[in-house]
Amino acid sequence: MEQIVHPLAAHLQNIKRRLLIVGATMLGLLVLTFSFSADMVAWLNRPFENQLAFYGPTEALFASIKVSLLAAFILSLPVIFYHCWKLIEPALLPKEQRWAIPLFMLAGALFGLGMVFCNAVILPLVIDWFVSFGLDRDITPQLGVGIYIDFNVKFLLIFGCAFELPLAMTLAAVIGAASAQTFARYRKHAILLCLIVSAVVTPDATLFTMLLMAVPLMLLYEVGIIGARVFGRSQDHDGMDLPTDPDVPFKTAGTRMR
């Protein structure tokens, strides 16, 4: 007798299988990138002229693991996006499926652009400012490799995620969940939220680093408003409207049909 699998159980098994594949991919890439961890630490050490030090037996090891894990995560993004796509594909209409892959590629490009911007602009400014602050007071800089790498990795991930903001705002406008007018109306609230988020997520709570995070967030919010105005659905009132496309049928309570 053929065993009947509940749809929810089958869906959970599918999620578990894909998570295992992603985890195995990241683990394999972690082993690979760990052999280049010394080069990656040296690359991140470019803004700081002095040699890094370690103050505990395991500090250098865990710093190498952190930077290798970051590299493994970046290299795993195509696999992560692919399995995310396969999970949501059954819920998408044919027209939406044609847009999904370009959107995933755009999301990956924005994440990479955020990390490049952070590494090329933000991190050198932050490190130079802090080191110069100590040198002006006749204090010799001696940074621990663990704290230094942790500082860099957090900044890189934060900026990578922050650069997804315009895409998220544009998609919200495209599906009708919000509009450019709504985003513009709540600009003051968004500025305050940017300051709060920057104070919470930055590795240190100084005003300088908070502004280096908050100002790009504010600019990205403005880019999101432009994207929402260009690509978003025109709305005469606030709130979520059901799609008016005749090719997108809806059943009771907005349940989508193919």
Q: How far, in whole angstroms, is CA 213 from its chain's centroid?
A: 14
Q: How confident is the model at residue 234 (pLDDT cuts 50, 70, 90)?
A: low
Asked if residue 69 lies in contact with residue 4, where contact means CB atoms within 8 angstroms, the answer is: no
Terminal Cα distance for the chain, rounded: 32
Q: Tell the residue number behind the tokens 């059901």, with chain if given.
A: 242
pLDDT level of residue 20 (50, 70, 90 thresholds): very high
> pLDDT (tens digit, 9 = 90+) per residue, 88-110?
877 777 777 778 778 888 998 99
Looking at the chain, list the stretches that DSSP marks H as alpha helix, in order from N- to C-terminal side: 7-34, 37-44, 59-88, 94-117, 123-135, 145-162, 165-174, 180-185, 187-201, 207-231
pTM of this prediction exceeds 0.85: no
Q: Give Cα separations from 155 to 44, 52, 53, 70, 201 (angstroms).
A: 12, 18, 20, 12, 9
Per-residue pLDDT reduced to its tens digit, 120-172:
888 888 888 878 877 777 777 778 888 888 888 988 998 999 899 999 999 88
